[in-house]
Amino acid sequence: MTTARTIPVWKNADDLSKWFVTDLDSHALDVVVVGAGIAGLSAALCLLREGRKVVVIDKEGIGAGETLRTSAHLSNALDDRYYRLARQHGDDGARLAAASHAAAIDWIEAVVEASGKDCGFARVPGYLFAHDRDASNLEKEVEAANAASLSATLLQAGDALPASFGPVVRFERQAVVDVGRYIQVLAAEVREAGGRFLRAEIVDIKGGSPCTISLRNGELKAKTVVAATNVPVHETGATYMKQAAYRSYVVSGDAPADLPDALIWDDADPYHYIRKYVDEDGVAKIIVGGEDHKTGQDDDPEAYVRLQAWTREHFPGSTHFTHGWSGQIIEPVDGLAFIGRDPDHENVYLVTGDSGNGLTHGTLAALLIADIAQGRDNPWEALYDPSRKPVRSAGEWIRENANAALQFRDWVRPADVDDPERIPLGTGAVLRRGAHRIACYRSGDGRLHTYNARCPHMGCVVRWSGEEKSWDCPCHGSRFDGESGAILNGPTSEPLAPMELDPR
């Protein structure tokens, strides 16, 4: 089970499942990395290179979380714009953000070159354009980006992209990668360096000397734990009220002839992002993402249709689409990930809050955590500290938490339907039985799968996602499989509880 039903263009790593064992002969471990995605594998490799002994734990396998649901941009031209980052983190903070993401791209490039494998890595320019043709914010971003030591230039309409895009900002030395091929190279490097892989589901982490890792079917002890699970699934107050989960949508198809080898973004809210991808058969594809909304809110069956229409508007040669998928983006209130020591758990390190730049945030997290764990100073530590107070982003913090609180209104709202017989095949709905809400999914064979609709994390009522056939929590973004109730995304550490649907 991956975190979604839709299928990305990237090849998955099912053939690496043989590396995973289901039991370990040791309960006194050195480093346990929870999560076999970009952040977990990168952290594992960095710590192995430091001479540490590392076990990587994942309940599904290599890249089965959000890593293979990315569009695989590698950029230090960050989505939150440098004029905002400078306001929130100061000029020095903006420079450190640019430098850390650039270092992440360099590290990925070095891993690819050392492997000798074709991972589709290439250096390309990045282009930011104004969705409304108003260049004033582009001018602000050029000034702020250059102050942060990027190389950014404002170009006039038609100088780089088709004139219909208007003026654009060009960023040098961005990059692309085939994340499916790269994640397999990264996993192989971990294994060759002595890393081990355990297939297990984590239900809790407790810091200490040693730390305790509670599994669904046992317990482990370790000196150090790296929680690289997109959002923490253990109890920590460090981050969950300072970030929010969003769903982002992506389509892919045959590349039009005028698609440049570049990364392209607009400044809309939600914004769109574009890149070219050449598959293993040498066929050029276009990848376009956007149409974000808060997870569990505003279920949107037209998102893929609108993305295709938007793509044809900007690149009229885009006529044949073959893939559509979605992924979970965790947005911190101040634009930068939370990476470093968990202030609530000794010897536990957090990686969360990708902010739409998951591959670079996950990679720089590995470099930063390796330094902290080995007792070295790192200039990025304070910038990404999970315990930091987003004082300059107080308005956004209030807005996001007020939005989460409002979702508890679902407890007093009418049911989606009154009669389960009205639920079509392949569809879910929340029913009401007295004080209870019951999440009902009718699978293709006609059977009803019924669960307590109360999210185990903090008690919100889950909602149905027609795109991914999942139950999504509108408060903090936990997601559950429609048929089994199993966890797809945290922060919940428990699946939906089965509940009988009594007749009325």
Strands 273-278 and 263-266: antiparallel
Please provide the average confidence, as pLDDT, over all residues in the chain.
Answer: 91
Are 263 and 136 within one domain? yes
Domain span at residue 462 reads: 412-489
With b for 16 or more beta-carbon neighbours within 10 A and e for fewer, the 113-122 pattern comes to: eebeeebbbe
Judge whether 257 lies within some domain. Answer: yes
Are 313 and 434 within one domain? no
Can you give the pLDDT at residue 407?
Answer: 67
How many domains, the chain? Answer: 2
CATH of the domain at 441: 2.102.10.10
Strand partners, 214: 204, 219
Can you give the pLDDT at residue 331?
Answer: 92
Strand partners, 437: 432
Low-confidence ranges of the chain (pLDDT < 70): 1, 391-408, 410-412, 503-504
Helix (H) or strand (E) run with residue 191 in it: helix 179-192
Q: Is residue 90 a contact partner of residue 345, using CB atoms and an 8 Å limit? A: no
Are 324 and 455 within one domain? no
Are 424 and 321 within one domain? no
Judge whether 435 lies within some domain. Answer: yes
With b for 16 or more beta-carbon neighbours within 10 A and e for fewer, the 238-267 pattern comes to: bbbebbbbbbbbbbbbebbeebeebbbbbb
Helix axis angle for 136-147 and 82-115, nearest 10°, is 60
Q: Of 297, 329, 361, at which residue does a domain stop?
A: 329
Ramachandran class of 435: left when φ > 0, alpha when ψ lies in -120 to 50, beta otherwise: alpha
pTM of the model: 0.94
Helix (H) or strand (E) run with residue 226 in it: strand 218-227
Can you give the pLDDT at residue 1?
Answer: 56
Are 305 and 441 within one domain? no
Summarize pLDDT for 369-397 with one digit per residue, the tens. Answer: 999 999 999 999 999 999 998 766 656 65
Q: Of 280, 304, 329, at which residue does a domain stop?
A: 329
Judge whether 452 lies within some domain. Answer: yes
Are 308 and 445 within one domain? no
DSSP 3-state assignment of 366?
Answer: helix
Q: Of 329, 360, 379, at which residue does a domain stop?
A: 329
Judge whether 182 lies within some domain. Answer: no
Judge whether 4 lies within some domain. Answer: no
Can you give the pLDDT at residue 223?
Answer: 97
Are 433 and 322 within one domain? no
Judge whether 501 lies within some domain. Answer: no
Can you give the pLDDT at residue 12?
Answer: 81
Can you give the pLDDT at residue 404?
Answer: 63
Are 279 and 134 within one domain? yes
Judge whether 99 lies within some domain. Answer: no
CA atoms within a 13 Å half-sphere pointing along the CA-CB vector of 446: 1
The CA distances from residue 102 to 74, 123, 366, 494, in Å, are: 9, 12, 14, 37
CATH of the domain at 316: 3.30.9.10
Summarize pLDDT for 201-251 with one digit per residue, the tens. Answer: 999 999 999 999 999 888 999 999 999 999 998 999 888 788 999 999 999
Strands 54-58 and 28-34: parallel
Judge whether 273 lies within some domain. Answer: yes
